Amino acid sequence: MKLLIISAAYPPMHIGEAMSTLYLARRLAECQHDVHILTSTSNIGSGDPQITVHPIMDTWSWWEAAKVRAVVKQCAPDGIVLEYIGLIYGFHPMITFVATICKRLFPQVPFVSRFESAFVGADPSTTSWISRVFRKFIVVPWAGSEGDVYGSGTLLRDSDHVIAMCERHRRMLVQEWAPVEKKLSLIPPPQYIRMSSNKDEEARRKGRELLGVMEKDFVIAFFGYLYPLKGIEYLLQAFANVRRQRQGVKLVFIGGKVDLVAGESGNSYANRMSQLATELRLGGDVKWVGGFRVDDEEPSLCLRAADIGVLPFLEGIQLNNSSFSVMAAHGLPIVSTRGPVLDPQFVHGENILLTAPSDVEGLQRYLLQLIDNPELRAHLRAGVEKLARDWFSWEATINRMLAMVGKKGQAEILSFTDSTLPSHF
């Protein structure tokens, strides 16, 4: 089956959506499907011979809709998947009408919109008045105004299936256009890094050598890109308090700066956090591993070396947080934060510990509990491993997506073709 994935984010771009698109394409290719990627000009990919990359898009504006149409027509795919978040398309509305474009070309070809976020869509304040006029008087009359929403255009109306990655996003999409509920599925992102070939004690030893920490040290890991809303400043403050009370505790940041962020730049934020660590006099007890290439196994080894993970997000943990799925794949007991909408899959005290966002005292309290209580760590580890099996399995994700485009039952190949993955990830 020939599948076309449309995504403005793809390697070598450094952003979570690029990694997510790559790993989705790889898993589909491993199921013996002919996978094509339509992406931006600078995103040439990572050299995967089984994936055909079309890096031809410059601005994703109205004037490039003809490029999208041409690639779709040339590929004549059996199924189309759109990776959507307004940020990677420069918040331009053109891409929000791509489902309509594709359905006009191939009415019977299933179109799936995978919403990376439900609240970062097209934004009229970022486009010119000419673009807004073109949308209102040319595009909307052509596509039909019923079911048109500015942030998502006609994606909710004309997609055959819509994927939300967490409960909060699902609710927002239904609120945006209520009829979408009958074709809306909740599928969180599986982990997207190369899992270390070494496991257990050997992986832990290698990871600790990479980090330069001793076996007796207690290692706390943060995984993910560094940008505002990650709450790193509160983690650093909590760690400073913990460090005064416990000896041999290390904090490791695994992840680099992101290419695209909203608001304060990732570079500025990362530098500010490094300066804060210096002001708190944390010295060598805080380690910044930095970014990594697509197929590096060092991040996985570093996570194998850790004793616990912490994700102090300012908006709270959600199923769509790929940083969590990566940590869960490594079986780490995790401390995070509770946001305005908590997915019911997260159970405090069973598969995660939750405190309020920006709560330095809460983070400090749970870090100390986990340092002092190996039984609690073992209990949370068992819970997070079950959560990973139930909700972050690549096999289940691929099977569900293949069902959406009309083909079932080939994802079992994943367990046998990728020796770097445990059988259930």
Closest residue by Cα to residue 118 from 334, 366, 341: 341
> What is the value of pTM for the model shown?
0.88
| pLDDT reported for residue 408 | 44
Residue 413 pLDDT exceeds 90: no
- List of long-range contacts for 206-211, beta carbons under 8 Å, 24+ apart: 206/301, 206/304, 206/305, 207/301, 207/302, 207/303, 207/304, 207/305, 207/306, 208/305, 210/298, 210/301, 210/302, 210/305, 211/250, 211/252, 211/287, 211/289, 211/302, 211/305
CA–CA gap between residue 264 and residue 258 (Å, rounded): 11
Residue 268 pLDDT exceeds 60: yes
No. of helices (H) and no. of strands (E), the chain = 16, 13
Residue 264 pLDDT exceeds 80: no
Task: Give every CB contact of residue 81 below 8 A, 6+ residues apart in sequence.
Answer: 3, 4, 5, 6, 24, 112, 114, 401, 405
| pLDDT reported for residue 416 | 31
Give 290's pLDDT tier (boundaries 50, 70, 90). Answer: confident
Please write the tens of the pLDDT for every residue from 195-254: 888 778 899 999 999 999 999 999 999 999 888 899 999 999 999 999 999 999 999 999
Residue 407 pLDDT exceeds 60: no
Residue 422 pLDDT exceeds 50: no
Task: Give every CB contact of residue 412 below 8 A, 6+ residues apart in sequence.
Answer: 395
Phi then psi for 220, rounded to 5 degrees? -105, 130
CA–CA gap between residue 267 and residue 101 (Å, rounded): 37
pLDDT averaged over every residue in the chain = 91
| pLDDT reported for residue 420 | 35
Please write the tens of the pLDDT for every residue from 346-405: 999 999 999 999 999 999 999 999 999 999 999 999 999 999 999 999 998 999 999 998
- Worst-scoring range by mean pLDDT, 153-162, 261-270, 357-366? 261-270
Please write the tens of the pLDDT for every residue from 57-70: 999 999 999 999 99
Where, residue-wise, is CATH 3.40.50.2000 in the chain? 2-190+393-417, 200-391
Mean pLDDT of 121-133: 94
Q: What's the sign of the alpha-carbon dihedral 296, 329, 391, 290?
A: negative
| pLDDT reported for residue 59 | 95
CATH architecture of 2-190+393-417: 3-Layer(aba) Sandwich (3.40)
Indicate the fold that domain 200-391 takes in CATH.
Answer: Rossmann fold (3.40.50)
End-to-end CA distance of the chain, in Å?
Answer: 23
Q: Are 36 and 54 in contact (CB under 8 A)?
A: yes
Outline where DSSP puts E strands in 121-191: 161-164, 184-186
Percent of the chain residues topping a pLDDT of 70 = 93
